[in-house]
Amino acid sequence: MSKTTDIKINLTPRDPFFKTTTGKFLNWAIKVGRYIVIFTELIIIVSFAARFSLDRRVTDLNDSIHQKEVIAQSYGDLEADFRLAQKKIDQYEQVEQRNNIVKIFPKLQEIVPENLVLENLEITRTGITLEAIAATNNALNFFINNLQVSPYFFDVEVKKIEAESKKTGGFTVLVEARTSMEVIETGEKIDLKTKE
């Protein structure tokens, strides 16, 4: 078996023009350059075609936005009035949520015995301070005991106990206590152990 080999012999002489710079450039332009130009044009044509649909979407969106703006404007000052009303209601609720000291009065009345006279009483939103004259030892004990077991008062502190003059008799007592507004507001009595 003899091997056959393909030998191509081109005897046509090369055009000397292709040896010049212009010739080389033209030769490149028709070989590689055209692919680059075609590729570029392809991208541009694709994007040009895509622009139609994108432009259409932009126009639709502009129309939709304009329509909604007109609708929103048609409500006039409603938004401003509504926001102002909301702020006012919020502020009103904040004021209303403050502890109401009026509710302390009946709770205090419940624990003060008859033979105890309040000389000075200060009620704040967080507590009470009172100075009282107890006619008897029992009245004093009864009052302090009531205050301590009451679910509406805690941190009871007896600041002073003084015996009154022999003429009038009795004891002067100065007491401070904090009020449990949560219990007063809800009216639910809580377990003393959990309160402590």
- Interface residues with other proteins (CB under 8 A)? 24-25, 28, 32-33, 36-37, 39-40, 43-44, 47, 50-51, 54-55, 57-58, 61-62, 64-65, 68-69, 71-72, 75, 78-89, 91-92, 94-96, 98, 100-102, 105, 118-125
| Number of residues that this document lists for the chain | 196
Q: Compare residues 51 and 189 and give the one whose CB is closer to other proteins.
A: 51
Nearer residue to other proteins within complex by CB, 1 or 38 = 38
- Single out the residue of 129, 161, 162, 163 nearest to residue 147, CA to CA: 129
Tell me the residue type at 28: W
Cβ 60 to other proteins shortest distance, Å: 9
Q: Which of 150, 137, 74 is nearest to 107 (CA)?
A: 150
Q: How far is the CB of 169 from other proteins (least distance, A)?
A: 18
Residue 127 φ/ψ, nearest 5 degrees: -175, -175
* Residue with smaller CB distance to other proteins, 1 or 49: 49
Helix (H) or strand (E) holding 175, with range, is: strand 171-179
